[in-house]
Structure 1
Amino acid sequence: MRRIPLLCVLALLGTTVLATPANAAPVALLSDPIYDYATAIRETVYVESPLDNDGDGIRDKIVADIIRPREAAAAGVKVPVIMDASPYYQCCGRGNESEKKVYAGDGTVSRFPLYYDNYFVPRGYAFIAADLSGTSRSTGCEDVGGAAEVQGAKAVIDWLNGRVTGRNAAGAVVSATGWSTGKVGMIGKSWDGTVANGVAATGVQGLATIVPIGSISSWYDYNRANGMVNPKVSSVPSLHSLVNSRPSGTCSAVAGALSSGHAASTGNYNSFWAARNFVTAAASVRASVFVVHGQNDLNVQGVHFGQWWDALAANNVPRKIWLSQEGHVDPFDFRRATWVSTLHRWFDYWLLGIDNGIMGEPMADVERAADVWQTSTLWPPSGTATANYVLQGTGDPGTLASSGAGSGSLSLTDAPSLSEANAVSSPTTARTGRKVYQTPVLTSDLRISGTPTITVRVRSSKATTTLTAKLVTYGTATRVNYRSSGEGISTLTTQSCWGASSSTDDACYKDTAKVVSSAAYQVLSRGWMDGQHRDSLTATTPMNTSTYYTITWKLRPIDQVIPAGQRLGLVLTLTDPEFVTAHSTGATVTVDLAGSVLKLPIAPAGALAAPSALRTDSPTVIYDGTVSPLAGTRFQ
């Protein structure tokens, strides 16, 4: 790629086509690292939030720790901003190495977590690490996805555009309009990226792009699953407690509202959750969106990227997506070199206006195996269509058929202690509490791209029961072991450096490798429904024990290929103690097979890449030879 100095880039802002010599190949342009990182301006600004949610009579102050190129400021050159707004800068740290902010004697940050500052400040960007309301040095109280959190982060963008007041530590008013272009790109993994989703949903002017990585789109769907509590993640009150940095008692009222609002006893969707649902506000999004998510993320599950992506598509939001085979892992730690290069061009395009062609490239990158990637011009691919699979027979296993009809019925008795491993393994063995349906051995590859749904016609012996469905690929293969302790990666002892360093802040990070294992199966997607929430998530309706109900629910969205020679399986169980806390157990359910169907989004054969079309990123893998038990997930 051709690189050009930033001052030349600035002269090209607003130009959509760059002239090239006749018959010359298109020239890809990148901003160059022409500014000195070590001497960059470091400052702290206290931005006024529109809210006073700690009730002290003073609007909350959001701390924006800033680093920006000194030479640009001296020359009067305005720069755009990359911002990571996070609750974790002091309690827990960021990134694979859990870096925290380190402060100098004057109160400014001498060491920023992550590489964003090291890499992008020399290239003519400012970087802001903002403390969310009630965390680290910000005032107010953390309300976990609520108005204080979102409006506080939004206020920093408003300050950069001259719409709200910011002050320095001495209380003097500080303006950013002299050095900021007003354009902002928000980025972050997990909670940080969730904040980016929430701020984008406000439609704030100046936010040009967001890059949410493994991030929540609706807090209900993080803590709940169709009326049931997700026991694998931290509750809203516990997350508040984890990141709260205010003196004891300051945030008691907010903590109480969080405890009463999240409706743990019922699993209901209510106004508390509606206020934390960004999907419903997708029509307000003005920023472009680069979604990155692990298809095997068991913390922030795939429902979040799937429903957010669909809503963005419905509103014609410019977008791009990466889907990996890892769990809750940052792309910096599963595809580092390609990621940094792609992110560089993404920000150059959306924040500097460099016409580098990135929006003309394939919309999606999907990891097929460890470090083997396939691109799709659109996602889901053009021509993807719903195919119905019916459930036939009651043997072990039954048949999952793409034609014909289901008939007869089966009885399924709850087995509360049935683990996922026992539910899906050894499909030809009869086991209490589970029923397996399999396709015949596939004669050609099958690509599922999108959100599967399951419909069952059932009668329950109790007023409610959990209904669980899992998609499984059966066939021994070497796969990314997303259930290893690193969720598919292992941290090495070697390092690589990404950007410039100073005496207090280096740009070097430990390298990683993919962790793979050979296994006879892999769970591809999961989905759950509480029987008493079958008609509504806002209220419960008990099931009449003599009545059949037709119940439909979604599984987690995926883009996975089941290779020829393997089988696709559907596993039905009731209670699933690893993933949902059931409201009742011990039911016996009768399933009417004629009224039950699995619907799969199947990509056309042309969307399956030949080996020559697959890209391999210099694989570094560790074969661990085992399928490890699931490590405890953490929301970071």
Structure 2
Amino acid sequence: MGGLSRMWRVGMALLPVVAVAVLGVTPPALAAPAPAIVVSDGVTQPVFGYADAIRERLFIDSTFDSDLDGLRDIIAFDLMRPKATADGLKVPVIMDASPYYSTVCRGNESECKADLDGDGLLDRWPLFYDNYFVPRGYAVILLDMVGTNNSTGCPTTNANQDNLSAKQAINWLNGRATARNAAGQVVEADWHNGRTGMIGKSYDGSLAMATAVTGVRGLTTVVPISGPSEYYDYVRSNGLITRGNNYVASLANTVTNPERRDYCKPVRDAMSAADGDETGDYSAFWNERSYVKKVDKVTASVLLYHGLNDDNVRPDHFSKFWYALAEHDVPRKLWLSQEGHVDPFDSRRTVWVNTLHRWFDFWLHQVQNGIMEEPRVDLERSADVWETHADWPLPDKVDTEVFLQPGTGGAGGLKLVPVVKPTTVRLADDPAQSQNTMILNPDTVQPSRLAFLSVPLRTPLHVSGTPVVKLRAGADKTDTNFGAILVDYGTAERVAHRMPGEGIITLESQDCWGQTSPTDDGCYKQTQKRVATADLELVTKGILDAQNRQSIRTPTPLVPGQLYNFDFPLLPEDYVFQAGHRIGVIIVGSYPQYSSQADPNRATIDVALKTSHIVLPIVGGTPAAHAAGL
């Protein structure tokens, strides 16, 4: 105890000396607080500058050699981040990887990347992501897909080299790859918070999905907008070619800088030799370009957008990907609009920007704003009239058989025109028949189409999901085509989703989103919905090569005169047939406005009516169908 007492006394004796020493020194100034994002009203606020943001162009060695020159391709990207990241601010990244920045360009106004003063840095950044999100504490990357703009190599149209381009940048952001500036200096992403989101429309959307299915660590969320998820379905459908021969190579040529197109011709020639245009069948070439089959690797959340009337990237791209996401319980949301191939920024701008802001805040800044507790699906029912639903297809839809009956069949079903009662009905395949000829005047008998019509509906009938046609039929040749069209016969005002505009009209007035710089104002032309009154609506459609009835990989010729089961899906839909309208199902052989692969056989087709039917995903199932009069 005496020892402890001595130590205590020694300490007390030293205290005055220490106090004098401290008092005799001027204390250091308090350190400035580290910069941080500001959240108010549940969202990040624009507290950082845009004009003074740090802009860089960086280059990463890839892991592949698309042009087979013996050198790894170099992936280039342009980066903008808040100036405060140089003082310790950690921010996430929003990335739009694209093949289009120097050719087709981006957005409704076709904005290209532009270096106006030749200093190697962008002065004009396409789209609004930089203007809006950088001031709110995000970095933005616009990445040049392999073989495009400032990246080396050659485009391969959704093959592995395209698909892995953005992964290189995510690896760099997370310390797993090396990036250099134009001077060759190594640049580190020490400002990154470890989370990245990807976004993009069309090809850009497919690159977001492609990166997600690699399972790359650090990709936290993706927002694919109208992107192909299964490239076979972009240029084929159930064994039939829909976009002409060698489309894959043609698109690769379009996105390649003109001065490199001759250089990349051998790569395109190799793709054309492998694409299987001579058959239209599925092969390893297309499997490489499938994202649906790889959804089990996705660790990122998904906000998916698609136009139900998109005839460019057809709606089966969203539906197959969505079904796979649900199967693997991936965190997800879905927007479905009535337009064609239109960005939501140009169809529901304010709500979309607000939703995107909250989505990125939640997943990239971890702002607890409740967005994942809100309804999973936003769906446009008619022009600018939106609904929310718990899921899609609607949870109370039931796949319901509706039979294709003779014209004098019993109650319900869809009745053949004319009023006769055959057990089979004959159809002449006409590869030159137009879509208008198929669907107009449904009460008129035509040799190259079968028209099955409902009575005028007593109550509205809602379909939600993927209809399937099931035909029992045979032909007098070893091959033929089949087409089916679901039509709403009834006058109504609807979104005019065909060209021009695919459902929107671009106005001269503008609004602005985010901050500006002397060379980039973040302002965009406003739009309005294009509507028209029409007597009918082509609701959905589908086609099949009869030889691919069992597999899209392996054709099996028909035995002339023998009956087979031909089951094929129509494009997914969410549609309400109004009371008083009639539902029509049109059956044809060749469908030249859908398939560019005309059937040379001109077969005569016999359809057995006893078992042929369409399976409609009806909300409310059989009771709802009976109530409507089916």
Structure 1-normalised TM-score? Answer: 0.88
Q: Which residue of 1 aligns with 2:53?
A: 40
Q: Secondary structure at the match of 1:307?
A: helix
* Aligned partner (choices 80, 83, 101) of residue 92 of structure 2: 80
Q: Which residue of 2 aligns with 1:460?
A: 475
Q: Which residue of 2 aligns with 1:203?
A: 215
Q: Which residue of 2 aligns with 1:602?
A: 618
Q: Deviation of residue 467 (structure 1)?
A: 0.2
Q: Deviation of residue 531 (structure 1)?
A: 0.6
* Aligned partner (choices 331, 334, 337) of residue 344 of structure 2: 331
Q: Hey, what's the Cα distance between the residues in 2 that align with 1:82 and 1:9?
A: 16
Q: Deviation of residue 28 (structure 1)?
A: 5.3
Relative to structure 1, is the Cα distance of residues 233 and 56 closer, same or farther in structure 2, using a 3 angstrom cutoff? Answer: closer
* Contact 1:85 1:195 (8 Å CA) reproduced: yes
Q: Which residue of 1 aligns with 2:522?
A: 507
Correspondence 1:216 to 2:232: no
Q: Hey, what's the Cα distance between the residues in 2 that align with 1:47 and 1:595?
A: 59
Deviations 1:562-611 (A, max 9, x none): 12221221111111111102343411100001121111111239xx9xxx
Q: Secondary structure at the match of 2:413?
A: strand
Question: Counterparts of 1:140-155 in structure 2 under 5 Å?
Answer: 140-155=153-168
Deviations 1:333-383 (A, max 9, x none): 111111111111111111110111111111111111110011101222222
Relative to structure 1, is the Cα distance of residues 279 and 6 closer, same or farther in structure 2, using a 3 angstrom cutoff? Answer: farther
Q: Hey, what's the Cα distance between the residues in 1 that align with 2:427 and 2:146?
A: 48
Deviations 1:75-117 (A, max 9, x none): 3011000000000000111000000000142211111101111
* Contact 2:472 2:608 (8 Å CA) reproduced: yes
Answer with 55-64 or 266-275: which moved more.
Answer: 55-64
Q: Deviation of residue 43 (structure 1)?
A: 0.3
Q: Deviation of residue 9 (structure 1)?
A: 5.1
Deviations 1:3-37 (A, max 9, x none): xx996657x9xxxxxxxxxxxxxx95000011110
Q: Deviation of residue 416 (structure 1)?
A: 2.1
Q: Which residue of 2 aligns with 1:592?
A: 608
Aligned residues: 582
Deviations 1:512-552 (A, max 9, x none): 11111111110111100001111111121111112101010
* Aligned partner (choices 276, 298, 316) of residue 289 of structure 2: 276
Q: Secondary structure at the match of 1:339?
A: helix
Correspondence 1:158 to 2:171: yes
Deviations 1:404-432 (A, max 9, x none): xx972111111222211221122111223
Q: Hey, what's the Cα distance between the residues in 2 that align with 1:280 and 1:390?
A: 33
* Aligned partner (choices 428, 431, 434) of residue 419 of structure 1: 434
Q: Hey, what's the Cα distance between the residues in 2 that align with 1:115 and 1:169?
A: 26
Answer with 243-252 or 529-538: which moved more.
Answer: 243-252
The AA in structure 2 aligned to 1:49 is S
Largest Rg, 1 or 2: 2
The AA in structure 1 aligned to 2:618 is I
Q: Secondary structure at the match of 1:254?
A: helix
* Contact 1:362 1:377 (8 Å CA) reproduced: yes
Relative to structure 1, is the Cα distance of residues 399 and 257 closer, same or farther in structure 2, using a 3 angstrom cutoff? Answer: farther
* Aligned partner (choices 332, 339, 362) of residue 375 of structure 2: 362
* Aligned partner (choices 477, 486, 506) of residue 492 of structure 2: 477
Q: Hey, what's the Cα distance between the residues in 2 that align with 1:495 and 1:447?
A: 37
* Contact 1:232 1:299 (8 Å CA) reproduced: no
Q: Which residue of 1 aligns with 2:128?
A: 115
Correspondence 1:185 to 2:194: no
Q: Hey, what's the Cα distance between the residues in 2 that align with 1:300 and 1:361?
A: 28
Correspondence 1:351 to 2:385: no
* Contact 1:223 1:233 (8 Å CA) reproduced: no
The AA in structure 2 aligned to 1:408 is T
Deviations 1:245-285 (A, max 9, x none): 36355324321221111111110100000010110001001
Q: Hey, what's the Cα distance between the residues in 2 that align with 1:604 and 1:411?
A: 34
The AA in structure 1 aligned to 2:490 is G
When the two chains are superposed, the root-mean-square deviation of aligned CA atoms in Å is 2.2
* Contact 2:223 2:305 (8 Å CA) reproduced: yes
Correspondence 1:51 to 2:69: no
Q: Hey, what's the Cα distance between the residues in 2 that align with 1:97 and 1:9?
A: 32
Q: Hey, what's the Cα distance between the residues in 2 that align with 1:482 and 1:562?
A: 18
* Aligned partner (choices 81, 93, 97) of residue 68 of structure 1: 81
Answer with 369-378 or 583-592: which moved more.
Answer: 583-592
Deviations 1:146-203 (A, max 9, x none): 1111112111111111101111101111111x11112111101000001111111111
Q: Which residue of 1 aligns with 2:399?
A: 386
Correspondence 1:565 to 2:594: no
Q: Deviation of residue 400 (structure 1)?
A: 3.3
Q: Deviation of residue 499 (structure 1)?
A: 0.9
Q: Secondary structure at the match of 1:422?
A: helix
Q: Hey, what's the Cα distance between the residues in 1 that align with 2:453 and 2:194?
A: 55
Q: Hey, what's the Cα distance between the residues in 1 that align with 2:531 and 2:231?
A: 31
Q: Hey, what's the Cα distance between the residues in 2 that align with 1:106 and 1:237?
A: 33
* Aligned partner (choices 529, 535, 548) of residue 563 of structure 2: 548
Q: Secondary structure at the match of 2:340?
A: coil
Q: Hey, what's the Cα distance between the residues in 1 that align with 2:163 and 2:391?
A: 31
* Contact 2:246 2:272 (8 Å CA) reproduced: no
Q: Deviation of residue 57 (structure 1)?
A: 2.5
Q: Which residue of 2 aligns with 1:240?
A: 252
Answer with 224-233 or 499-508: which moved more.
Answer: 224-233
Relative to structure 1, is the Cα distance of residues 119 and 192 closer, same or farther in structure 2, using a 3 angstrom cutoff? Answer: same
Q: Hey, what's the Cα distance between the residues in 2 that align with 1:532 and 1:582?
A: 14
* Contact 1:185 1:347 (8 Å CA) reproduced: yes
Q: Hey, what's the Cα distance between the residues in 2 that align with 1:591 and 1:6?
A: 74
Q: Which residue of 1 aligns with 2:627?
A: none
The AA in structure 2 aligned to 1:126 is A
Q: Which residue of 2 aligns with 1:486?
A: 501
Q: Which residue of 1 aligns with 2:27?
A: none
The AA in structure 2 aligned to 1:431 is Q
Structure 2-normalised TM-score? Answer: 0.89
Q: Which residue of 1 aligns with 2:187?
A: 174
Relative to structure 1, is the Cα distance of residues 394 and 441 closer, same or farther in structure 2, using a 3 angstrom cutoff? Answer: closer
Q: Secondary structure at the match of 2:352?
A: helix
* Contact 1:463 1:543 (8 Å CA) reproduced: yes
The AA in structure 2 aligned to 1:112 is W
Relative to structure 1, is the Cα distance of residues 264 and 448 closer, same or farther in structure 2, using a 3 angstrom cutoff? Answer: same
Q: Which residue of 2 aligns with 1:440?
A: 455
Q: Secondary structure at the match of 1:55?
A: coil
* Contact 1:465 1:582 (8 Å CA) reproduced: no
The AA in structure 2 aligned to 1:273 is W
Q: Which residue of 1 aligns with 2:23?
A: none
Relative to structure 1, is the Cα distance of residues 534 and 374 closer, same or farther in structure 2, using a 3 angstrom cutoff? Answer: same
* Aligned partner (choices 253, 267, 273) of residue 266 of structure 2: 253
Q: Which residue of 1 aligns with 2:275?
A: 262
* Contact 1:207 1:287 (8 Å CA) reproduced: yes
Correspondence 1:376 to 2:392: no
Q: Which residue of 2 aligns with 1:102?
A: 114
The AA in structure 2 aligned to 1:82 is I
Q: Identity of counterpart residues, as a percentage? A: 45
